Amino acid sequence: MRKILVIGIGAGNPEHMTVQAIKALNRADVLLIPTKGDEKAFLAEARRDICDRFLENPACRILDYAVPVRRADGSYEDGVNDWHHAIAAIYERTLAVMGEDETLGLLVWGDPMLYDSTLRIVGHVRAAGRVSFETEVIPGITSVQALCAGHGIALNRIGLPVEITTGRRLAEGWPESARDALVMLDGVQAFRTVEDPEAEIWWGAYLGTPHEILLSGRLADMAETIAETRRRAREDHGWIMDTYLIRRPAADTGEDAP
């Protein structure tokens, strides 16, 4: 039976590849590399660099595919759903022309289980029922881990939860369940909406890559610096991926400050 390997490749540093991921890479008969135009060419090049470094299977075919553009009209959820189905169709067409016992490898930035939709897209292919396959998932190092390692901090405070959320959600209001928020996929600079004067931020962009930027400090002091750094970085590179942790003072818990 055909198989899909969903391989977490880390946050941007080829050395984030685990032994398990390298072994999975070399089990693939076909590797799909997504391309997102000139602005995000680095993302495809990083995947090719990983293949150059670690792929030892000369029979493996490496295929590029252009990632469909997500439509911006209508609701956000409908746009994402249509986008996912368009990518699922590419996966399905690729599987359909592969041998019955061949394996397709999907190289996923970071970890397939954390704020990535590859597994959902694979689920759409399975639900369509036109091609049969097994799925195996290999975890990877996330931008969350790379952020905390870069700043030399623990993700959580003793006895306190951390909420992992998106910029879109944070902009709607601080999560009620936690004093610490780890924010991913922030296209709206939601850190600027947090008004707590005692909040602290640990911010990072292009984590794990040669372009990595790290900034930290009291949020009230750092918000404009981060916004300007983010603007310049996007201008320089044509794209940006950033992640950050915001900690507000623990409310009468007796816990130590970070």
Q: H helices within the chain, ranges in order?
A: 19-25, 41-54, 76-96, 118-128, 143-151, 167-171, 219-237
Residue found by looking up tokens 């290999």 in the block: 138
180-184 β-sheet, strand order: 162-166, 180-184, 242-247, 200-205, 213-218
Sequence ranges of the chain with CATH classification 3.40.1010.10? 2-138
Q: What is the pLDDT of residues 78-136, one digit of tens each?
A: 899 999 999 999 999 999 999 999 999 999 999 999 999 999 999 999 999 999 999 99
Sign of CA dihedral 93, 96, 98, 104: positive
pTM for this prediction: 0.91
Over residues 228-252, the mean pLDDT reads 92
Question: Per CATH, the architecture of 143-247 is what?
Answer: 2-Layer Sandwich (3.30)
Q: What is the pLDDT of residues 36-90, one digit of tens each?
A: 877 678 889 999 999 999 999 999 999 999 999 888 888 888 899 999 999 999 9
Residue found by looking up tokens 């391309």 in the block: 35
Confidence at residue 250, expressed as pLDDT on a 0 to 100 scale: 85
CATH class, range 2-138: alpha beta
Sign of CA dihedral 9, 33, 232, 14: positive
Sequence ranges of the chain with CATH classification 3.30.950.10? 143-247
